[in-house]
Every structure is written in structure tokens, then in C-alpha cells.
Amino acid sequence: MINAYVFNTLQYDPKLCIGCRMCSIVCPHAVFAQNGRVAQLVRPERCIECGACQRNCPTGAITVDSGVGCATAMIRAALSGKEEVTCGDGSTASCCATKDE
Ligand code: SF4
Ligand code: SF4
């Protein structure tokens, strides 16, 4: 089991992964990448806990507490001094964009 508790509530168990690639496709922040047969957690610090990967993973390999999603990301960004996480890039509404993307 790999978890990203230092950043957020995202957890990934590669033993359960069947390599369907759904997590890589749906993640708005490229947290997962496909490497061979299974997914790899490559940018856990970028997870905003939106829950899309968990909802689309057919095997339950991913868990994340998406109860408050972006609000949590914004609070963490504020407390850590990171670039503020925003909803949208200013032209379109989105819960999955940051100012630097
Ligand atoms: S919860 Fe959202 S941002 Fe985090 S890894 Fe899953 S799809 Fe990506
Ligand atoms: S969605 Fe689940 S089973 Fe599919 S590649 Fe990602 S972790 Fe593996």
C-alpha cells in the first residue's frame, strides 16, 4: 500500500491494480501514470482529493477522502504557502485547475 498522507488522504494499492488506465485518464492533475502493467503514483502531492480516480477504479485499488475536495486543497495551499488552488483558470469553471496550470 502506498499512501500520500503527508500531502492528502490518497492511498493506492498496486497489488489490486489491473492496469486499466482509468485513473490516469480521469485525474486532472496527472497524479497517476501507467508504467508497464500497473499504475504508478507519480505526483501524489498534486492530488486535490476530487475522488475521480476512486470512482473510476474497477478494483478498489485507490481510496481517497473526497468529502470536501477542493476546499481541503485550498486550505492546505494557504497553510503551506503554495500557489493557491482555484476553481477554473479564470475563463472556465472547474474544480480541477490551479493558477499555474
Ligand atoms: S482524487 Fe482526483 S486529483 Fe487526486 S489522484 Fe484521484 S483523480 Fe487525481
Ligand atoms: S483505475 Fe485502478 S485498476 Fe485501473 S489502472 Fe488505475 S489503479 Fe489500476
Q: What CATH number has the domain bearing residue 37?
A: 3.30.70.20
List pLDDT tens digits, range 6-57.
678 999 999 999 999 999 999 999 999 998 899 999 999 999 999 999 999 9
Going by alpha carbons, the residue nearest to atom 2 of ligand 2 is 57
Question: Does any ligand 2 atom lie closer than 6 A to the CB of residue 22?
Answer: yes
Minimum-distance ligand to the CA of 20?
2
Residue 80 has which C-alpha cell?
503551506
Query: Could you tell me the three cell numbers for 2?
Result: 502506498
Closest residue by CA, ligand 1 atom 6: 53
Q: What are phi and psi of 36, to 5 degrees?
A: 75, -130
Domain hosting residue 32, numbered range: 2-98
For the chain, the helix, strand and coil percentages under 3-state DSSP, each to the nearest 5: 25, 20, 55
Is 0.75 surpassed by the pTM of this model?
no
Q: How confident is the model at residue 68 (pLDDT cuts 50, 70, 90)?
A: low
Q: How many domains does the chain have?
A: 1
